[in-house]
Amino acid sequence: MSSILIVEDDSDIKDILKTYLEIERYELFEVDSINEMTKFLNSNKVDIILLDIMLPDGDSVDILPYIRSKNKNTGIIIISAKNTDRDKIFGIESGADDYITKPFNPREVVARVRALLKRLKNEDEKLQFEDLEIYSNNYTVKYKGKIIDLTAKEFEILYLLAKNNNKIFSRNEIIESIWYDNEYITDRVVDVHISMIRSKIGKNWIKTIRNMGYKFNKKVTD
């Protein structure tokens, strides 16, 4: 049974979400503040977090990078009344997988939860290239026996390129493959993620193909 943490201080919205998600037989937990969320996540793991931005004790996007760093395998969907392009881009760049604006159709929330869960539950597979090991079942990367600290999105990009190592991916193809709600994802977001991956595993594993995009280099000599 997949588990979902609802972080929302509006009881009416929380009740609507619970009504529709309970039909899908998800295991549901609820909190209504940043403090309660961090306490819960310190001792519990969930598959999805439905996260309101404006909470009584602050703006949750401010701590989203921290939450993401501690919950790399968890899907995060922001549900917020903040509906400008800037808000959506900032939310996604801060670590959210998806962004839904209020007012919302609860059936859309359920559909996006399903889609995100499907994407997160990859088949158990290990890819290995020289000293680089990539495990899709638990989002783990090892290089020369050492676990590499990648975010969920960094892992998904690396896994996409490594699994399809004979293909050159354009930035748009990476966006379409990795981000469910990709209307506000720019080429710059992809470039930043690639840069971060290179800084952690070495720059030679991912090649930049001029005017085309990126390609995984399955044979690297340091």
pLDDT in tens, 19-45: 999 998 999 999 999 999 999 999 999
pLDDT in tens, 150-175: 988 999 999 999 999 989 999 999 99
* More confident of the two residues 213 and 94: 213
Pairwise CA distance, residues 78 & 75, whole Å: 10
Segment among 97-101, 111-115, 175-179, 217-221 with least mean pLDDT:
217-221
Pairwise CA distance, residues 202 & 180, whole Å: 28
* Cross-strand partners of 208: 214
pLDDT in tens, 185-202: 899 999 999 999 999 999
pLDDT in tens, 66-77: 888 888 789 999
Q: In this structure, are residues 29 and 46 in contact, taking their beta carbons and an 8 Å threshold? A: yes
Pairwise CA distance, residues 119 & 141, whole Å: 18
Q: What pLDDT, on the 0 to 100 scale, is given for residue 220? A: 62
How many CA within 13 A on the CB side of residue 217?
A: 14
pLDDT in tens, 48-92: 999 999 999 999 999 998 888 888 789 999 999 988 888 888 888
Q: What pLDDT, on the 0 to 100 scale, is given for residue 49? A: 97
Q: What pLDDT, on the 0 to 100 scale, is given for residue 54? A: 93
Q: What pLDDT, on the 0 to 100 scale, is given for residue 175? A: 94
Provide the mean pLDDT of the chain: 90
Cα–Cα nearest to 106, from 27, 16, 2, 14 = 16
Q: In this structure, are residues 172 and 217 in contact, taking their beta carbons and an 8 Å threshold? A: no
Pairwise CA distance, residues 147 & 209, whole Å: 28
Confidence of residue 123 (pLDDT cuts 50, 70, 90): very low
Mean pLDDT within 140-146: 91
Question: What's the pTM?
Answer: 0.62
Does the pLDDT value for residue 206 go beyond 80? yes
Question: Going from the N-terminus, what domains does the chain have, and what CATH number goes with each?
Answer: 3-120 (3.40.50.2300), 126-216 (1.10.10.10)
Does the pLDDT value for residue 222 go beyond 80? no
Pairwise CA distance, residues 140 & 146, whole Å: 10
